[in-house]
Structure 1
Amino acid sequence: MMTRQEKLTASGVQWVTLDNGYKVWTRRVGSGPIKLLTLHGGPGCTHEYLECLENFLIPEGIEVIFYDQLGSWCSDQPDDESLWILDRFIEEIEQVRVALDLEDFYLYGHSCGGLWAIEYALKYQMNLKGLILGSITGSIQSYMAHINHIREQLPQNIVERMKQYEEAGDLENEEYQTLLMEHLYHQHICRLSEWPDPLNRAFDHMNNQVYNTMQGNNEFVFTGNLLGWDRWNELASIRVATLILAGRYDTMAPADQKQMQSIIPHSRLVICENGSHCSMWDDPTNYQQALVGFFRDVEKGNL
Structure 2
Amino acid sequence: MALKPKGTVPFGPYETWYQVTGDLQSERPALVVVHGGPGSTHDYLKNLKELAAHTGPVVLYDQLGNGGSTHLPDKGADFWTPELFADELENLVTRLGIAGNYVLFGQSWGGLLVTKYAAARPAGLRGLVIANAPASYPLWLQEAERLRADLPPGVNETLLRHEAAGTTDSDEYHNAMRPFYEKHVCRLKPWPRDYLASFYEVYNDPTVYYAMNGPSEFHVNGTLKDWSVVDYCPQVDVPTLLISGRYDEATPATVQPFQDLIPDVRWVIFEESSHLPHLEEPELFQQVMKEFLSSLADTGQKEAAGHGAL
TM-score (norm 2): 0.88
CA contact (8 A) 1:15 1:26 kept: yes
In the alignment, the residues of structure 1 paired with residue 44 and residue 270 of structure 2 have an alpha-carbon distance, to the nearest angstrom, of 18
Which of 10, 15, 23 lines up with 2:8 in the alignment? 15
**How far has the Cα of 1:54 moved from its partner?**
1.3
Provide the secondary structure at the position in 2 that maps to 1:137: coil
Which of 13, 17, 30 lines up with 1:25 in the alignment? 17
In the alignment, the residues of structure 1 paired with residue 157 and residue 113 of structure 2 have an alpha-carbon distance, to the nearest angstrom, of 34
In the alignment, the residues of structure 2 paired with residue 46 and residue 245 of structure 1 have an alpha-carbon distance, to the nearest angstrom, of 20
Note the 1:46-65 alignment, pairs <5 A: 46-55=41-50, 57-65=51-59
**How far has the Cα of 1:104 moved from its partner?**
2.1
Note the 1:95-174 alignment, pairs <5 A: 95-102=91-98, 103-174=100-171
Deviations along 1:134-180, whole A, 9 cap, x unmatched?
Answer: 11121111111111110011244222122112222222322321221
- Asked if residue 199 in structure 1 is aligned to residue 206 in structure 2, the reply is no
Structure 1 counterpart of 2:6, one-letter code:
V
Structure 1 counterpart of 2:47, one-letter code:
C
Note the 1:82-93 alignment, pairs <5 A: 82-93=78-89
Structure 2 counterpart of 1:197, one-letter code:
R
Which of 291, 295, 303 lines up with 1:297 in the alignment? 295
CA contact (8 A) 1:125 1:240 kept: no
Q: What corresponds to 2:269 in structure 1?
A: 271
**How far has the Cα of 1:128 moved from its partner?**
0.4
**How far has the Cα of 1:199 moved from its partner?**
0.6
**How far has the Cα of 1:257 moved from its partner?**
2.6
Which of 214, 224, 233 lines up with 1:226 in the alignment? 224
In the alignment, the residues of structure 1 paired with residue 299 and residue 39 of structure 2 have an alpha-carbon distance, to the nearest angstrom, of 35
In the alignment, the residues of structure 1 paired with residue 48 and residue 253 of structure 2 have an alpha-carbon distance, to the nearest angstrom, of 26
Provide the secondary structure at the position in 2 that maps to 1:51: helix
In the alignment, the residues of structure 1 paired with residue 94 and residue 148 of structure 2 have an alpha-carbon distance, to the nearest angstrom, of 42
In the alignment, the residues of structure 1 paired with residue 242 and residue 11 of structure 2 have an alpha-carbon distance, to the nearest angstrom, of 30
**How far has the Cα of 1:25 moved from its partner?**
0.7
CA contact (8 A) 1:37 1:106 kept: yes
Provide the secondary structure at the position in 1 that maps to 2:154: helix
**How far has the Cα of 1:124 moved from its partner?**
4.1
Q: What corresponds to 1:213 in structure 2?
A: 211
In the alignment, the residues of structure 1 paired with residue 209 and residue 286 of structure 2 have an alpha-carbon distance, to the nearest angstrom, of 28
In the alignment, the residues of structure 2 paired with residue 160 and residue 15 of structure 1 have an alpha-carbon distance, to the nearest angstrom, of 45
In the alignment, the residues of structure 2 paired with residue 227 and residue 158 of structure 1 have an alpha-carbon distance, to the nearest angstrom, of 23
In the alignment, the residues of structure 1 paired with residue 137 and residue 227 of structure 2 have an alpha-carbon distance, to the nearest angstrom, of 6
TM-score (norm 1): 0.90
Q: Structure 1 unaligned runs (5+)?
A: 1-10
CA contact (8 A) 2:121 2:237 kept: no
Of 259-268 and 201-210, the range deviating more from structure 2: 259-268
Count of residue correspondences: 290
Provide the secondary structure at the position in 2 that maps to 1:143: helix
CA contact (8 A) 1:243 1:294 kept: yes
In the alignment, the residues of structure 1 paired with residue 283 and residue 176 of structure 2 have an alpha-carbon distance, to the nearest angstrom, of 29
Structure 2 counterpart of 1:14, one-letter code:
G
In the alignment, the residues of structure 2 paired with residue 199 and residue 154 of structure 1 have an alpha-carbon distance, to the nearest angstrom, of 22
Note the 1:182-193 alignment, pairs <5 A: 183-193=179-189
Change (3 A) 1:125 1:268: farther
- Asked if residue 39 in structure 1 is aligned to residue 37 in structure 2, the reply is no
In the alignment, the residues of structure 2 paired with residue 285 and residue 145 of structure 1 have an alpha-carbon distance, to the nearest angstrom, of 32
Provide the secondary structure at the position in 2 that maps to 1:148: helix
CA contact (8 A) 1:248 1:271 kept: yes
Structure 2 counterpart of 1:70, one-letter code:
L
Q: 4+ residue runs of structure 1 moved beyond 3 angstroms?
A: 218-221
**How far has the Cα of 1:184 moved from its partner?**
0.8
Which of 245, 248, 264 lines up with 2:246 in the alignment? 248
Provide the secondary structure at the position in 2 that maps to 1:126: coil
